[in-house]
Amino acid sequence: MKQKSKKTIFYCQQCGYESTKWLGQCPACKEWNTFVEEVVDKKSISSSGKINTSVKRETQTYVLNEIKIDEQDRMMTGMKELDRVLGGGIVKGSLTLIGGDPGIGKSTLLLQVCRNLSSQGENVLYVSGEESPQQIKIRADRIGKFTNELKLFCETNLSTIRATIEKEKPSVVIIDSIQTMYDENVTSTPGSVSQVREATAVLMQIAKGMNISMFIVGHVTKEGVVAGPRVLEHMVDTVLYFEGDRHESYRILRGVKNRFGSTNEIGVFEMRQMGLVEVENPSEFMLSGKPKDASGSVVTCSIEGTRPILLEIQALVCHSFFNNPRRTATGLDYNRVNLLMAVIEKRLGVRLSDCDAYVNIAGGAKLNEPGVDLGIVIAVLSSHLDIAVDDGIVCFGEVGLSGEIRSVNSVEQRINEAKKLGFKTCIVPEVSKRKLIESKDINIIGVKNLQDVLQLLSSRK
């Protein structure tokens, strides 16, 4: 009797864990209801996991101290914000994954990169599996003029794409998107766990083997992470995420993984008719439209990678008529806001348990840094006590559970950013003030605990 060549495998959509049967919870990533069933052909399993003894490979070892790094190995994209997030430009042979919500501007950004690189004489290949050449042409006409160095190729078959890359020999390749690509050797449908993983492996071999810089566009799930197995992010060199509301004009490009530079760097863009425009001064952009003499509003400074950014924290605290007060945090960690409100009530005796509280980062940015704790506390107290904070004040610092104000990193950089935008007073932790040199341009006020903060607010009433 002929043995069957196909079998059924269950894959975890989050981490790629394989199982012979369906499981409610993944043993690897502990996520629930993430297993999907796929049919795998035993004859068509990729040979990447097999060792071919008939092929003899030359092996070479390197002495670490003798390896030379050429700075010219990076290509400038012509967009300073993108170059910063990439760590100083595009590294040859690198594989970069860009994720974001639909319509956020991923394809627009990459098309602008293609225009800049092609104008520099670089041979660029744009591979699209979702749009026709006419659709891409409509977007390109809105962005600007392109040179003949940019080639379009609409295909989803990886074998055909590989042959085209070997023929054209481009220096940069754009894959839009990875979920539409498929390998003939994998029997599952495009976009499945097996196809995404195998397609990424093939593209990685092309990028490393031919020394081609490659950008991959990835769809995201409703949780905001790249769709497909988690192993996808481990395979690539750089992972970038586009953040922001597609109905707003601003966009934030955040680096969450980078083998060639620092992580958590951000680039700020503004969506206009001609495409994405760089925002050279994000602090001024984020603070535009800040209300004057309004309670519950304060400016804080956050460090994103190596860049300080001034942001406005808004809070609205009002009496609740329900048994369970409502708490909302937009752009901030919800649990962190609740914790800080509990510290305020315990250490200052300010009753907030019967109040609704709404805390928001103006402009739609997202912060997850302890240095903005002091800004949240001042905004909540300002709204609850109905005391307006002066427009020339900026604050930062971490708040502990005992109500103490703890030091944060990059204090001088934060103060210098406040000076550039004309702020006259900076509220910092007392331990940080001792290490600073007094400046005539800005008045630095040190606070030790929440009692000092409340006294400072009360004195301005």
Binding site feature residues for ATP: 100-107
**Could you give the angle at which helices 373-385 and 450-459 cross, rounded to 10 degrees?**
40
Task: Give the C-alpha separation, 226 to 222, whole Å.
Answer: 9
Instruction: Note the Cα 351 to chain centre separation in Å.
Output: 37
Binding-site sequence positions:
100-107
Determine phi and psi for 312, rounding to 5 degrees.
-100, 125
Q: Extract the tokens encoding 1.
A: 């009797």
Reference 117, options 181, 246, 212, 245; nearest CA is 212
DSSP 339-390: HHHHHHHHHH----TTEEEEEEETTS-----GGGHHHHHHHHHHHHHT-BPP
C-alpha distance from residue 129 to each of 25, 103, 132, 222 (Å): 33, 16, 8, 22
Largest interatomic CA distance in the chain: 91
**Tokens standing for residue 253:** 């490009």
Burial of residue 12 (CB within 10 Å: 0-12, 13-18, 19+) is buried
**Can you tell me the distance from the alpha carbon of 411 to that of 426, in angstroms, rounded to the nearest whole number?**
11
With CA atoms as reference, report the closest residue to 212 among 93, 76, 121: 93
